[in-house]
Amino acid sequence: MRLVQKIRLYFIYPKNKFAYMMNTENTKQAWEGFKAGKWSETVDVLDFIKNNYTPYEGDASFLAPATERTKALWDKVMVLMKKEIEMNGCLDADVSTPSQIDSHKAGYIDKDNEVIVGLQTDAPLKRAIMPFGGYRMVHGSCEAYGLKEDPIVKEIFTKYRKTHNTAVFQAYTPDILAARKSAIITGLPDAYGRGRIIGDYRRLALYGIDILIEDKKREKAESDNALMDANIIRIREELAEQIEALEAIRRMAGFYGIDISKPATNFKEAVQWLYFAYLAAVKDQNGAAMSLGRTTTFLDIYAERDIKNGVLTEEQAQEIVDDFVIKLRMVRFLRTPEYNDLFSGDPVWVTESIGGMNDDGRTFVTKNCFRMLHTLSNLGPAPEPNLTVLWSARLPEGWKEFCSKMSIATSAIQYENDDLMRPVFGDDYGIACCVSPMIIGKEMQFFGARANLAKALLYAINGGYDERTGVKVADGIEPITSEYLDYKEVDKQFDKMMDWLSRTYVNALNIIHYMHDHYYYEKAQMAFMTRDVVRKLGCGIAGFSVVTDSLSAIKYAKVKAIRNEQGLAVDFEIEGDFPKYGNNDDRVDAIATSLVKRFMDKIRKLPTYRNAIQTQSILTITSNVVYGKKTGNTPDGRKAGVPFAPGANPFHGRDTCGALASLCSVAKLPFEHAKDGISNTFSILPNSLGKSDREKVANLTGLIDGYMAKHGQHLNVNVLQREVLLDAMEHPEKYPQLTIRVSGYAVNFVKLTRPQQEDVISRTFHTKF
């Protein structure tokens, strides 16, 4: 029996507990005109949405342009963002105040002209320190940006207050330390927030803070008479922290003169309340992926009611959405250069999931879905929020065409397969970070970076020795000594190496998340989750196409190992040709699909902290460059230091049979063994989509439809010219908003490091279908 099921045995769930709280005059006024349901008796946002939203199957002709007020406000932000770039990426920072929900007083861009208010600190783009994750991150960030550390803060977090990072390194094993140092495992969240927790921020708008606090008190009180074992004690402590977080959110909103005690009464308030909930999360945590959730259709309910009642115009509705997005584009964290090397472009992954289908057959597309994408026109393209369209074959054609049109114009949208994920996650899931689906408010993830399978293959050949340093990293593996590599022998050794790697990897994650709960608990995010949250362990693969092609070369060609004086294989000579992943060739694609299942099966066998359900992604973010830099020559012919392909992509230039063949190879990868996501970043030249705008939109829509029909899970779409990117490298001042999709998220191209820009340019730009 799973831990969550055991815990439930301690609790008795009273019925209609909220009836008295939901029946006040203020609540009745806020909910006037809404159809009642389970949501009006207990906290149930999905029931509210299904009872009250208005599907929209028309086109984009109703949309309004940006108002003059919006343009003026955005111009001020753009000036600040330009200064930020000029100042090495950090405009300002408060190094004396550890960030908390209510640590900073109100901050404004232009107080008299903001529709939606709230900043992370007391000034726009001013960053805050978050030392609870680890003071090393604060020290490194101050050093990188020329900031003077606060001696009092330093003393507290190095002498008196143990941090998550300190605790993790106290518990790490020699194997974990060796794997971390050699970069066979990289990006572990052992010095920053783990992220990938999507709080149901909609709850604050629908219910107000008072009801949510009472709900958490109810959850805690239900265990008052339980036997106080370790699990119950921990849950009670966590609920107490969540209640404190909700009270802090009330105080934070009060700094702006806003009372969020009661439910929102109109569209503007609904957006503001929801944003305050999200703002609390990013003030409390600097996680890798502080996703927003699935808010657009929910908010449309308020907009539709206000428009119907004659108190809101379309222009005003768009203005509110534009202002909301301006705030989301301004989220910032203070991070080290090492972090930025892995996750370049200053990303936050404010992922908003849009569209999709209702289980009852209706679309979840609303007018507000159009408004959200329309911000790419009104404000120009940008990486944040990470706009994610949940794609279904049954989506309205007007919506499909609008999405394709905006992709062609901005390269700022990613697509995920709703028809593939809805049967697994239901119809109220969202995407965390880039490609990771989870049920809003009911599931969370223990984020776990990535294991470098390409390096693992080299370790299998070299008996656990690192090909770059010559240091023994993995024990219990004998080296292969033959001149020419035998596929069966290599595959057998590789399987043993994956046993060692999966065990070391999961051990590291268990330590990290145990300590994270103790020293850097996400009280603000978890305050918007159910008590009995389902936890998942998010493992990941890097070097996927490199190891796939390497095994294909060994199997179908002849690969000779070139050894150094130590006897380590440091280079390879390939005699003959071999099938390359990305060309719809079942010989090599079968190796790829098997690899996904094999590593996941090993992860599944291992015990996890808090009985988290093991999941796996094929995702690298921009760390494909760092992984490549730290990996030697590989048997596929890739040279040492050359970046890996991102995510599940074929290696650069090897998918030579056209766009459809490349997509077909990736679509074969089994989602059942990679339910944390399979990232595919697709780039195509504009003229390759067609001659006229209408033809381009139709062809891109058809391409996405076809990929999803073949069970592809995720697709980044870049429609751009390589020459534009080359010019942007040399003249970044000309392209302040040039946005591209990388591995699961979007970035300002000019914010990437030079090696990462070169990597993007080296990728396949498809010239034919």
Residues with a known catalytic role: 433-434
CA atoms within 13 A on the CB side of 59: 4
Residues facing residue 126 across a β-bridge? 92
Residue spans of beta strands (DSSP E) within 204-314 = none
Dist CA 165 CA 136 (whole Å): 8
Tokens at 531, concatenated: 């008590």
Query: At 445, phi and psi to the nearest 5?
Result: -130, 140
714-719 and 681-684 strand pairing: parallel
Residues facing residue 618 across a β-bridge? 541, 678
Instruction: Give the max Cα distance, the chain.
Output: 82
CB 593 within 8 A of CB 669: yes
Query: At 574, phi and psi to the nearest 5?
Result: -105, 125
CB 529 within 8 A of CB 196: no
Question: Under 8 Å CB-to-CB from 681, ≥6 apart: which residues?
Answer: 646, 647, 649, 716, 718, 741, 742, 743, 744, 763
Dist CA 246 CA 411 (whole Å): 37
Dist CA 740 CA 383 (whole Å): 8
Tokens at 18, concatenated: 């909220």
Residue 321: closest CA among 407, 263, 385:
385
Residue spans of beta strands (DSSP E) within 44-197 = 92-98, 126-129, 185-186
569-575 and 558-563 strand pairing: antiparallel
Residue 582: closest CA among 706, 666, 688, 703:
666
**Cα-based distances in Å from 685 to 143, 415, 659, 761:** 41, 18, 11, 12
Distance of CA 446 to the CA centre of its chain: 12
Per this entry, what is the length of the chain? 769
CB 302 within 8 A of CB 320: no
CB 217 within 8 A of CB 505: no
Residues facing residue 364 across a β-bridge? none
Give the three-state DSSP class for 498.
Answer: helix
DSSP string, 348-383: ---EEEEE-B-TTS-B---HHHHHHHHHHHHS---S
Distance of CA 427 to the CA centre of its chain: 19
Dist CA 656 CA 466 (whole Å): 32
CB 714 within 8 A of CB 677: yes
Tokens 């062809």 correspond to 699
If residue 174 lies in a helix (H) or strand (E), which one and from where to where? helix 174-182
If residue 572 lies in a helix (H) or strand (E), which one and from where to where? strand 569-575
Bond into 579 cis (ω within 30): no
Give the three-state DSSP class for 488.
Answer: helix
Tokens 């939606």 correspond to 116
DSSP string, 385-412: SEEEEEE-TTS-HHHHHHHHHHHHHH--
Residue spans of beta strands (DSSP E) within 576-662 = 613-618
**Cα-based distances in Å from 185 to 106, 180, 403, 541, 748:** 41, 5, 37, 9, 27
